[in-house]
Amino acid sequence: MSSFYPTQKPSVYAKRRAKLAQAVRAQGGGVVLIRSGEEIMRNRDSDYPFRTDSYFYYLTGFPEPEGCLALVVGQESTQSILLCREKNEEREIWDGFRYGPKAARKQFGFDNSYPVDELEEVLENLLANQPAVFLRLGEDPELEGGVSEVLKTLRGKVRMGIGAPHSVQDVSHILDEMRLFKGKEELDTMRRAASISAFAHQQAMLATHPGAHEYEVEAALLYIFKRHGSEFPAYGSIVAGGENACVLHYRANNAELKDGDLLLIDAGCELDCYASDITRTFPVNGKFSKAQQAVYEVVLEAQYAAIAATKAGVRFNAPHDAAVKVLAQGLIDLKLLNGGLDEVLESGSYRRFYMHRTGHWLGMDVHDCGSYRDPSAKPEDGVAPHTSRKLKENMVLTIEPGLYIRAAEDIDSKYHNIGIRIEDDAIVTKTGCEIYTHEAPKTVADIQKWMAKRAAPKNKIAKIK
Ligand code: GLY
Ligand code: MN
Ligand code: MN
């Protein structure tokens, strides 16, 4: 039986391992250990779908559970070792294909491989006389416990001339920094994930009509994701009609959609472990009311301002600050807030309607890894330590301003329960940014034109209703 893994050439992962090794060597070398995770039972005999640990997959391209990468970094050379499940005819009859160490080593380009059942013995050999162990500290307690046991065993062999590593160090910050800057293969995958998701948003708009339920529209999204080879949604899809749109991480997706309400969809597929993250908000009946359009135009203008502020050399906070200015002015113009712009910005009164940040890193995880702080900020240079970092080429982030107006006595009822977010994904370039989720309709005119194409709703199976 064959498989399509690794999805990239083995050299892509090998280059990442070499870069990691270089950073570890600069810290004196040692052994890096990263595991893929295990299958987890959902309920009796039924597992949650398995999704590989992002760091492990980034460095190996190996898709199976119970894998462990050991990268042995010496002063002169590096050895890449994979531990994985053995071939097992019976388990393969029940659960499907496994590579086994021999084939995995060959197909994925490792220097060596072992059955994962031998992890403890292999670690005793690999860690003997090494200066340090590098782990994602705090993320894999079982591995940390296993390493502690091995260290104890090795210390017991001191009279045999064997030394144990003197330190266990965190490797997360090195890998986070690597993953923050996307390579060509990663950007290609992310663009494809985004195209699938944008198409799914188009289809979701066509599947929306008064009387449908949020889950029907969700089904239209998921169908497009799967149909194009996406393994999973990148996060729980938010399909939120009317007031539900004011719940930022709404999960239920079970309400009936009402004529005259807006529908907010925040959904993106994951493709080969890379996320996309798109939000669109549109009228259930295909036509914005005046009040909805007025609020929508403010959010859209804020998004354009944030996009214009996204480029290499500016700080991560710049798009947020640009968006907030437009949102605050819009709230004043709509008479939802009192006072002048400076006053509203200074007091933070806009946070009643805009309570989240304008973006986050995007990559293998939807809220991707990577520090938001300037790693070189020093108070003695006049840069406060919490200052946000500068954007650089090939970082990827979302741009997602919104306004959420819950019903309240002091608010004009025409704005009650309007929740709007507009979210696109952006690759930072030298002079600006590339919005690569643009295929999902976004302006009022484009949304209304697109939704005018809707056919009459399809019948559901009569018996089920
Ligand atoms: N979908 C999660 C987010 O937009 O951050
Ligand atoms: Mn997002
Ligand atoms: Mn989102």
CATH number, domain containing residue 129:
3.40.350.10
Task: Report the atom number in ligand 1 closest to the C-alpha of 277.
Answer: 1
Same domain, 309 and 444: yes
> Does the C-beta of 356 come closer than 6 Å to ligand 1?
no
Q: What is the DSSP string of 84-104?
A: EPPP-HHHHHHH----HHHHH
Last residue of a domain, one of 178, 205, 229: 178
Report the atom number in ligand 1 closest to the C-alpha of 234.
1
| pLDDT digits 0-9 by tens, 308-346 | 999 999 999 999 999 999 999 999 999 999 999 999 999
Q: Would you say residue 457 lies in a domain?
A: no
Instruction: Give me the residue label for tokens 């670690």.
Output: 123
465 within domain boundaries: no
Q: Would you say residue 122 lies in a domain?
A: yes
Q: What is the pLDDT of residue 132?
A: 98
User: Are 246 and 351 members of one domain?
Assistant: yes
Q: Would residue 368 show up in a list of annotated catalytic residues for this protein? A: no
The confidence band for 375, taking pLDDT boundaries of 50, 70 and 90, is confident
Question: Half-sphere exposure of residue 376, counting CA atoms within 13 Å on the CB side?
Answer: 3
CB 110 within 8 A of CB 17: no
Number of folded domains that form the chain:
2
Give the pLDDT score at 460: 77
pTM for the predicted model, two decimal places? 0.96
Residue (of 181, 241, 237) closest to 211 by Cα position: 241
Q: For residues 247 and 394, state if they share a domain.
A: yes
Angle at 444 between CA 440 and CA 446, to 5 degrees: 50
386 pLDDT band, cuts 50/70/90, is confident
Residues 174 and 186 placed together within one structural domain of the fold: no
In a domain, 456, yes or no: no
Q: 359: CA distance to ligand 2 center in Å?
A: 6
Residue 142, class by beta-carbon neighbours within 10 Å (0-12 exposed, 13-18 middle, 19+ buried)?
A: exposed
Cis peptide before 385 (omega within 30 of 0): no
Q: Which domain holds residue 295?
A: 181-451
* Mean pLDDT score of the chain: 96
277 close to ligand 1 (CB < 6 Angstrom):
yes
Final residue of a domain: which of 178, 199, 220? 178
Separation between Cα atoms, residue 387 and residue 383, nearest integer Å? 7
Is 404 part of the annotated catalytic residue set?
yes
What the block records as the tokens of 133 is: 């162990």
Counting Cα atoms < 13 Å in the Cβ hemisphere of 130 gives 29
Q: How confident is the model at residue 1 (pLDDT cuts 50, 70, 90)?
A: very low
Q: Are residues 174 and 300 in the same domain?
A: no
270 lines ligand 1 (CB under 6 A): no
Q: CA 188, CA 79: separation in Å to the nearest integer?
A: 29
Calpha distance 412→407 (Å, rounded):
9
Question: Sheet containing 269-271: which strands, arranged edge to edge?
Answer: 232-233, 269-271, 274-275
User: How big is the chain by its Cα radius of gyration, in Å?
Assistant: 25
- 212 and 105 both lie in a single domain: no
Of the candidates 208, 238, 233, which has an alpha carbon nearest to the alpha carbon of residue 222? 233
Does the active-site annotation cover 86?
no
Where does a domain end: 149, 178, 207? 178
Residues 173 and 279 in one domain: no
Same domain, 115 and 263: no
